[in-house]
């Protein structure tokens, strides 16, 4: 092991030089290790890392903000106060990119000295130091963080009076180098995460607003009354089954999700490009022949939604055919006015009212093929 890697700070710097990504979890683990090290080995009672932020002048960092601290304290310090002097020795060290080893020449607590003394860079005219630790502080060390740019500063406080040594200054410099690299990697990772989140948000907005070509099988909504002729319903389902490689369809009686069935039907219609509405139901199921039929009001309402849906889609660039097929019984009142212009498929029956299934299948297949643009 080389001399520069034989200490904790040396090892941490080596680690920082080998990693590519530093996320919140990684930085939190590093934070714990650093706090344990400075507490045990460097006799620190308080440790804080602050990041520099740009001010209104746009030329340099004008503030220091706590990134993390050993006692969960938060600081937001302007570099200088209104009279032009530094807010405190920490902002002074950051602004001048100069490390400081601060003590009271009388070896008493720092806050009892009118001016503290810097044993590292011998900075003159330092203001009084106000500790962050919850006990008397006799030594404070402040080291700027610089990695391609001035990024921030860390400082540590100790209740013990400690003279500056070359070994101590070298170790703290290596710690500052390691923290600067890790902080820079974390900052890049955060920026990438924000960019990713913005990009995903843009895609979400695009998906909500834009119209794309339909790549999936088009959806067909099938509407009918509970009292509709079961033989007709069976033919409709059988014919649609022959197009299962080209279409998917929803039979409203198979919708079993919790919640309002009306709301679910509305969503299904909005998701559909095609529709089939068997409007009729028998007036008197057990009545004499010929059977008489009425249009079911719920199916008429759903047909109106499908009519509006397919009409609007036809005028957009959504792509693909759209349309719906109204199916009625001939022995019914006149069709609703809005549907009277549609090409209604009338159920073929004999004079006695028997369903002509082969004819109905042929008619329905022809109409579906026309919807799909196949004829």
In the block, residue with structure tokens 């002509």: 356
Tokens describing residue 303: 């047909």
Nearest to 25 by CA among 199, 197, 190: 190
pTM value > 0.85: no
How far, in Å, CA of 278 to CA of 296, rounded?
Answer: 9
Residues 221 and 249 sit within 8 Å (Cβ to Cβ): yes
Contacts (Cβ under 8 Å, ≥6 apart) of 103: 110, 116, 117, 119, 138, 139, 140, 161, 162, 163
How far, in Å, CA of 113 to CA of 111, rounded?
Answer: 5
Output phi, psi for 361, to 5 deg: -60, -45
3-190 falls under which CATH superfamily?
Answer: GAF domain (3.30.450.40)
Residues 34 and 175 sit within 8 Å (Cβ to Cβ): yes
CA of residue 3 relative to chain centroid, distance: 46
What does the DSSP assignment read for 196-210?
A: HHHHHHHHHHHHHH-
Peptide bond into 262 cis (omega under 30): no
Residues 280 and 228 sit within 8 Å (Cβ to Cβ): yes
Domain ranges (residues) in the chain: 3-190, 219-371
Number of other CB atoms surrounding residue 149 within 10 Å: 10
CATH number 3.40.50.450 is the correct assignment for the domain at 219-371 = yes
- The tens-digit pLDDT sequence of the chain (375 residues) is 454 567 898 899 999 898 888 888 888 898 889 989 988 888 899 999 999 886 555 445 589 999 999 888 899 999 998 888 999 999 999 999 999 999 999 999 999 988 899 999 999 989 889 999 888 999 999 999 998 889 999 999 999 999 999 999 999 999 999 999 998 888 888 888 887 777 787 777 766 665 555 556 788 889 899 889 999 999 999 999 898 888 888 776 666 565 567 777 777 888 788 889 999 998 876 666 678 889 998 888 888 888 887 776 544 444 456 788 999 999 888 877 666 556 889 999 998 889 999 999 999 999 988 888 775
How far, in Å, CA of 323 to CA of 345, rounded?
Answer: 14
How far, in Å, CA of 214 to CA of 13, rounded?
Answer: 54
Q: Give one word for 250, left, alpha or beta, with left for phi > 0 and alpha for psi -120 to 50.
A: beta
């Amino acid at each position: 092991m080389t001399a520069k890697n034989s200490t904790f700070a040396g090892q941490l710097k080596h680690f920082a030089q080998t990693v590519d990504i530093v996320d919140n979890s990684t930085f939190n683990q590093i934070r714990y290790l650093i706090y344990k090290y400075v507490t045990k080995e460097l006799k620190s009672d308080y440790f804080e890392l602050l990041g520099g932020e740009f001010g209104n002048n746009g030329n340099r960092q004008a503030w220091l903000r706590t990134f993390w601290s050993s006692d969960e304290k938060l600081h937001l310090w302007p570099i200088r106060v209104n009279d032009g002097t530094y807010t405190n020795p920490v902002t002074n060290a950051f602004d001048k990119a100069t490390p400081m080893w601060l003590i009271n020449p009388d070896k008493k607590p720092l806050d009892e000295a009118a001016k503290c003394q810097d044993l590292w860079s011998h900075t003159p005219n330092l203001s009084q130091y106000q500790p962050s630790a919850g006990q008397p502080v006799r030594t404070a060390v402040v080291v700027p963080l610089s990695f391609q740019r001035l990024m921030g500063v860390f400082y540590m406080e100790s209740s013990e009076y400690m003279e500056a040594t070359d070994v101590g200054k070298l170790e703290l410099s290596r710690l500052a180098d390691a923290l600067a690299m890790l902080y820079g990697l974390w900052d890049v990772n955060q920026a990438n995460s924000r960019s990713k989140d913005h990009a995903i948000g843009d895609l979400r907005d695009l998906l909500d607003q834009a119209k794309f070509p339909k790549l999936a099988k088009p959806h067909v909504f099938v509407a009918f009354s509970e009292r509709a002729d079961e033989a007709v319903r069976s033919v409709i389902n059988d014919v649609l089954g022959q197009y299962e490689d080209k279409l998917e369809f929803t039979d409203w009686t198979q919708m079993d999700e919790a919640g309002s069935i009306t709301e679910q039907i509305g969503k299904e219609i909005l998701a559909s490009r095609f529709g089939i509405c068997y409007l009729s139901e028998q007036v008197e199921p057990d009545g004499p022949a010929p059977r008489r039929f009425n249009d079911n009001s719920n199916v008429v309402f759903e047909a109106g939604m499908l009519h509006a849906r397919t009409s609007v889609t036809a005028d957009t660039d959504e792509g693909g055919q759209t349309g719906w097929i109204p199916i009625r019984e001939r022995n019914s009142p006149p069709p609703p006015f809005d549907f009277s212009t549609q090409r209604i498929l009338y159920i073929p029956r004999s004079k006695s009212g028997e369903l002509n299934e082969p004819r109905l299948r042929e008619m329905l297949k022809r109409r579906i093929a026309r919807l799909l643009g196949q004829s």
